[in-house]
Amino acid sequence: MRSMRSLNTIILVGIWLGGVSACTTVLMNTPVSKRADGWVLTLSQVKQGPNDYEGEGGVLLSAGDNQRLIWTDLTVRNEGGQEQTFSYETCLLVGKDQARQLMVVSRREETNVGVDREEAFEPGQEHMRQLVYSYPKDQRPTALRCGAILLAIPRPK
């Protein structure tokens, strides 16, 4: 009887993990870095889904009709010699005839914790942030543009 319970547990865990992974598709997992104007930006991952974002205090954001949420992991580093302020509002998710503004800036922790859309950086300081966008279901983003920096999102080979 004990071995049957273990088998059932393994099956349930497998089903649960399969369900979780089905909610997310990795579009890019190879870091891309560029520098300009005293900043170094690194786009390390782009995922499709999940299509809901639950933030602090139970705030829930969802993708609209015929939309999906695209989650990007962006590291921002100040390479200038003095404090600078970075505006995440300048980061657009672009593709064929699309340029989408971000919905959410998060700290990328287990619990989604929001971050101001402008952040001050001391020289050499860096932060990794998760930027969430709404994007048409039938299209794939091709780049993340933050001001003068364009980070390509290559198609898988």
Q: Where are the domains of the chain?
A: 25-152
Number of other CB atoms surrounding residue 40 within 10 Å:
15
**Digit-coded pLDDT (tens) for 18-74:** 334 447 899 999 999 999 999 999 999 999 988 888 877 677 788 889 999 999 999
pLDDT band at 9 (very low <50, low <70, confident <90, very high): very low
Predicted TM-score of the model (pTM): 0.80
Distance CA 38, CA 61 (A): 33
**C-beta of residue 141 within 8 angstroms of C-beta of residue 94:** yes
Question: In the Cβ-directed half-sphere of 39, how many Cα atoms lie within 13 Å?
Answer: 23
Tell me the CATH class for 25-152: mainly beta
Compute CA distances 57 → 54, 119, 129, 134, whole Å: 8, 22, 19, 21
Q: What angle do CA 130, 132, 138 make, to 5 degrees?
A: 135
- Per-position DSSP letters for 131-153, written without gaps between them: EEEEEETT----EEEETTEEEE-
